[in-house]
């Protein structure tokens, strides 16, 4: 397959149908995380979730944002598509800020910053780039699976690739 094949929003939407159906729903985190527990640390305490998401010291575990978009995860040939960011901005990230987070947004807000909203924006953009490239690194397949099963992927417990994905479950 030619990884540099030009695709448009319509084709990307067809490829990313499971993610887009999730994003177009009106409600997130209404039930406890229902995906696999294997290779996952499931947390229900928002303080623990915030610690994994925000601690970038690297002392106890890998920095979540640095890990998930590193060159260790994405190969050199991966092509980041700027038009995805443009289209997401244009449609306000599927109006994410107007969705019902069933209290998870309140639980995961610190100093006026809603962590769940910020991280979902970033994750949506990366996941759509994975669909556009027809390439999902293992960790991003796991992140997608977590979202689709009412969990919020918020960190990594350990040193990648050892360790486990940290998932916040709202209930």
Summarised one tens digit per residue, pLDDT across range 104-139 is: 999 999 989 999 999 999 999 999 999 999 999 999
Q: What is d(CA 80, CA 82) in angstroms, rounded to the nearest whole number?
A: 6
The SS3 call for residue 27 is strand
**Buried b / exposed e across 20-29, counting CB within 10 Å, b at 16+?**
bebbeeeebb
Judge whether residue 169 has pLDDT over 50: yes
Distance CA(87)–CA(154), nearest Å, equals 25
Given this model, what pLDDT does residue 107 score?
97
The span from the CA of 132 to the CA of 8, in Å, is 9
**What is the mean predicted confidence (pLDDT) over 10-27?**
95
Q: How many other β-carbons are positioned within 10 Å of the β-carbon of residue 84?
A: 19
pTM of the predicted structure, to 2 decimals? 0.94
* Rounded (5°) CA angle 109-115-118: 135
**Cβ–Cβ under 8 Å, residues 29 and 101:** yes
Instruction: Identify the bridge partners of residue 34 per DSSP, sorted by sequence position.
Output: none
pLDDT at 2 exceeding the cut of 50:
no
DSSP assignment of 39-52: TEEEE--HHHHHHH
Residue 49 CA to residue 72 CA, distance in Å, equals: 24
């Amino acid at each position: 397959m030619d990884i540099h094949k030009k695709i448009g929003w319509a084709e990307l939407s067809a490829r990313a149908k499971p993610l887009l159906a999730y994003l177009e729903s009106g409600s997130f985190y209404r039930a406890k995380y229902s995906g696999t527990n294997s290779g996952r640390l499931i947390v229900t305490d928002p303080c623990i979730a915030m610690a994994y998401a925000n601690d970038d010291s690297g002392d106890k575990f890998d920095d979540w944002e640095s890990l998930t978009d590193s060159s260790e995860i994405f190969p050199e040939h991966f092509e980041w598509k700027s038009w995805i960011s443009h289209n997401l901005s244009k449609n306000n990230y599927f109006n994410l800020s107007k969705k019902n987070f069933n209290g998870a947004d309140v639980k995961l807000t610190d100093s006026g910053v809603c962590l769940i909203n910020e991280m979902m924006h970033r994750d949506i953009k990366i996941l759509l780039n994975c669909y556009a490239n027809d390439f999902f690194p293992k960790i991003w397949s796991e992140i997608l699976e977590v979202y689709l099963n009412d969990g919020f992927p918020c960190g990594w417990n350990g040193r990648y690739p050892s360790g486990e994905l940290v998932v916040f479950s709202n209930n």
